[in-house]
Amino acid sequence: MSQRIDSDQRRFRQIVRGRIKKNLKQYISQGELIGRQGDKQVSIPVPQIDIPRFKFGQRENGGVGQGEGEPGENVQQGEDQESGQGEAGSDPGQHVLEVDIDIEDLAQILGEELELPKIEPKGQARHEATAVKYSGIRQVGPESLKHFKRTFRRALKRQISAGMYDPERPIIIPIKSDTVYRSWKEETKPHHNAVIIYMMDVSGSMGEEQKEIVRIESFWIDTWLRSQYKDLESRYIIHDAAAREVDRDTFFRTKESGGTMISSAYKLAWEIMQSDYPTGDWNIYPFHFSDGDNWSADDTMNCVKLLREHMIPASNVFCYGQVESPYGSGQFIKDLHVHFKDSEDVITSEIKNKDGIVDSIRDFLGKGK
């Protein structure tokens, strides 16, 4: 029975995984998963899933190859029924099932569908993590590590060899010599730390739709990078004419007005990088989202200088996403193309609407940096 249950569970997980892969672009563009995120799992809405199985009917009710007609006679198509007519029905509609999936599995699906390469961390691993690995069996140990299956198997062998086992009354009683325990060893593995520094323009030209696009995209960027790094930190900076660091909730809910001075965000990001994230120990990912408006050409040149002299050399890659807005000029991405045309360490992406999020994620993460 347990093997059949395990088999059904595996089939169910495969079906769910297939549904998620099939509708992944819809999940990404509509942002359905963000509000359902837990610490390690996400609840995903999928249509009701029925595992196919044979169902046998009553013989007297007819079935395949039964009923009126002669051998060799063509089977006629049934009468069409017009849809959308008639009175309101009383039958239940299709229900939507919410299925929990691990964040790691979701990241794997994202990587497979978008063909994202594994990230190659920059520099040497400076931090070590200790993990416990169960490696064998031994005769002594704590009760919490008792291996019940092997213990009962040893007891069964002992009773059979001693002629004590009765198939009519299959009772197995382990004794002390039958009991075995899992053994373990600690493994020390080097790993890399990483930080994402999100920056977003919250001036008057960035509306709710633009912020929602940033919110959705940052969720999927987080999901992928967390699958690549054991420890990932996130920092959040908002700016109009001035920049300040905020928490995640404030980052996505703040509504400001006024002008835009992008260099204020870059200066603050560089201060955070200098004080908290030494380049040799951390993989650093600055992401900036804006509608492309900036206060002046002089401030744009300040941004270029900060990027070229400080932020880019200290980062794995610098990513700029320009969200289309009816009020933004869209000039800043053009300026970045002029000054960093041949740089592989600066990635830009234009996001016209929610449907463009998938391509933008592929732009940012598709180089494996």
Q: What is the pLDDT of residues 82-128, one digit of tens each?
A: 555 555 555 555 555 666 777 778 888 888 888 787 777 765 555 55
> Which of 359, 343, 362 lies closest to 351 in space, CA to CA?
359
Reply yes or no on whether the pLDDT at 129 is more than 80: no
pLDDT for residue 15: 73
Mean of pLDDT values over 337-360? 93
Looking at the chain, the whole-number percentage of residues with pLDDT higher than 70 is: 72
**And the tokens for 111?**
């990587």
pLDDT > 90: what percent of the chain?
A: 34
* Cβ 205 vs Cβ 291: under 8 Å: yes
Q: How far is CA 304 from CA 24, 278, 362, in A?
A: 36, 22, 24
Note the pLDDT tens digit of each residue in 232-277: 899 999 999 999 999 988 887 777 777 899 999 999 999 999 999 9
The answer to whether the CB of 51 falls within 8 A of the CB of 11 is yes
Distance CA 32, CA 129 (A): 34
Q: What is the mean pLDDT of residues 182-207?
A: 80
3-state secondary structure of 243: strand
Amino acid at site 180: V
- The candidate with the shortest Cα–Cα distance to 122, out of 350, 303, 304, 277, is 277
The per-residue pLDDT for 360 is 94
Mean pLDDT of the chain: 80
* Residue spans per domain, the chain: 1-50+96-115, 128-188, 192-365
Residue with more model confidence, 61 or 168? 168
Which sign does the torsion angle of CA 5, 10, 15, 17 carry? positive
Which of 290, 364, 274 lies closest to 323, judged by CA?
290
Read off the pTM: 0.66
Into which CATH architecture does domain 192-365 fall? 3-Layer(aba) Sandwich (3.40)
Residue range 53-86, pLDDT digits in tens: 555 555 555 555 556 666 666 656 555 555 555 5
Give mean pLDDT, residues 148-167: 90
pLDDT average, residue stretch 313-317: 94
> Which CA distances in Å does 356 have to 31, 114, 299, 337?
13, 13, 28, 20
Average pLDDT over every residue of 7-12: 68
